[in-house]
Amino acid sequence: MLLPANFAIREILPFNNFAVVVINFFVLLLFVTVFNHNQLRDAKSKLFVLMGVFILIWVDFAHFARLVPETNDTGLAVIFLKIAWVATPLLFYTTYLTSIHIIEASMTYRNMSRALLFMALTMGVITATTDLTLKGVIYDPNGVLGRTLIIDYGIPGFYIFLAGIFAIMIFTLFPLIRRKLDDKSKVFLSGIVVFYVANAIFNIALPILGRADFYFFGDYSTIMLLSFTAYAIFRHNLFDIKTFATELFILVIWTLLFTRVLFNLTVFDVTQLAIDTVIFVVMVFFGILLIKSVKTEIEQRQQLGVLNAKLQELDARKDEFLNVAAHELRAPMTAIKGYLSMIKDGDAGQISPRTMEFLGDAMDGNDRLIRLVNNMLNISRIEEGRMVYDIGIVDLNTVVETVFNDYQIDAKQKGLDYRFEGDPLSQYPVEVDKDRIHEVIGNLISNAIKYTDQGIVLVRVFKPSFDKVRVEISDTGPGISPAEQQKIFQKFYRAESTIGKQLGTGLGLYVSKLLVEKFGGKIGFQSELGKGTTFWFELPVKK
Contact indicator for 136, 152 with CB cutoff of 8 Å: yes
Same domain, yes or no: 164 and 187? yes
The C-alpha torsion from 405 through 410 and 415 to 420, rounded to 10°, is -20
Mean pLDDT of 218-247: 64
Contact indicator for 181, 33 with CB cutoff of 8 Å: no
Is the residue at 299 inside a domain?
Answer: no
* Between residues 321 and 40, the one the model is more confident about: 321
Same domain, yes or no: 78 and 144? yes
Is the residue at 260 inside a domain?
Answer: no
Is the residue at 400 inside a domain?
Answer: yes
Instruction: Mark which of 384, 417, 450 sits at the end of a domain.
Output: 384
User: Between β-strands 456-465 and 468-475, what pairing exists: parallel, antiparallel or unpaired?
Assistant: antiparallel
Same domain, yes or no: 358 and 432? no
Helix, coil or strand: residue 201: helix
Same domain, yes or no: 55 and 180? yes
Is the residue at 296 inside a domain?
Answer: no
Tens of pLDDT, residues 318-356: 767 766 766 677 778 778 888 888 887 777 778 888 888
Residue 526 scores a pLDDT above 90: yes
Instruction: Give residue 523's pLDDT.
Output: 95
CATH code for position 521: 3.30.565.10
Instruction: Mark which of 208, 241, 274 sits at the end of a domain.
Output: 241
HEC profile of 20-42: HHHHHHHHHHHHHHHHHHHCCCC
Same domain, yes or no: 367 and 421? no
The Cα 157–Cα 151 span in angstroms is 14
Range of the domain at 361: 309-384
Sheet holding 417-421, edge to edge: 417-421, 456-465, 468-475, 532-540, 522-528
> How would you classify residue 463: left for phi > 0, otherwise alpha for psi between -120 and 50, otherwise beta?
beta
Stretch among 105-119, 134-148, 312-326 having the lowest mean pLDDT: 134-148
Contact indicator for 286, 312 with CB cutoff of 8 Å: no
Residue 262 scores a pLDDT above 70: no
Tens of pLDDT, residues 282-320: 887 877 777 677 677 777 877 888 888 888 888 777 767
* Between residues 187 and 94, the one the model is more confident about: 94
Is the residue at 174 inside a domain?
Answer: yes
Same domain, yes or no: 421 and 373? no
Is the residue at 186 inside a domain?
Answer: yes
Q: How many helices (H) and strands (E) does the chain have?
A: 17, 10
Residue 441 scores a pLDDT above 90: yes
Same domain, yes or no: 152 and 188? yes
Same domain, yes or no: 358 and 464? no
CATH code for position 53: 1.20.1070.10
Instruction: Give residue 37's pLDDT.
Output: 61
Contact indicator for 91, 84 with CB cutoff of 8 Å: no
Same domain, yes or no: 345 and 407? no
Contact indicator for 63, 16 with CB cutoff of 8 Å: yes
Contact indicator for 222, 194 with CB cutoff of 8 Å: no
Is the residue at 303 inside a domain?
Answer: no
Residue 86 scores a pLDDT above 70: yes
Identity of the highest mean pLDDT range in 25-34, 282-291, 453-462: 453-462
Q: Which helix (H) or strand (E) holds 415?
A: none
HEC profile of 142-196: CCCCCCEEEEEECCCHHHHHHHHHHHHHHHHHHHHHCCCCCHHHHHHHHHHHHHH
Largest CA distance in the chain: 129
Query: 20-23: long-range contacts (C-beta < 8 A, 24 or more apart)?
Result: 20/59, 20/60, 20/63, 20/262, 21/255, 21/258, 21/259, 21/262, 22/223, 23/55, 23/56, 23/59, 23/220, 23/222, 23/223, 23/226
* Between residues 425 and 511, the one the model is more confident about: 511
Residue 21 scores a pLDDT above 50: yes
Is the residue at 471 inside a domain?
Answer: yes
CATH code for position 347: 1.10.287.130
Count of the separate structural domains present in the chain: 3
Provide the whole-model pTM.
0.47
Same domain, yes or no: 15 and 45? yes
Instruction: Mark which of 384, 402, 422 sits at the end of a domain.
Output: 384
> How would you classify residue 104: left for phi > 0, otherwise alpha for psi between -120 and 50, otherwise beta?
left
The Cα 497–Cα 375 span in angstroms is 21
Same domain, yes or no: 26 and 163? yes
The Cα 343–Cα 351 span in angstroms is 8
Same domain, yes or no: 137 and 29? yes
Report residue 1's pLDDT band, with 50, 70 and 90 as the boundaries. very low
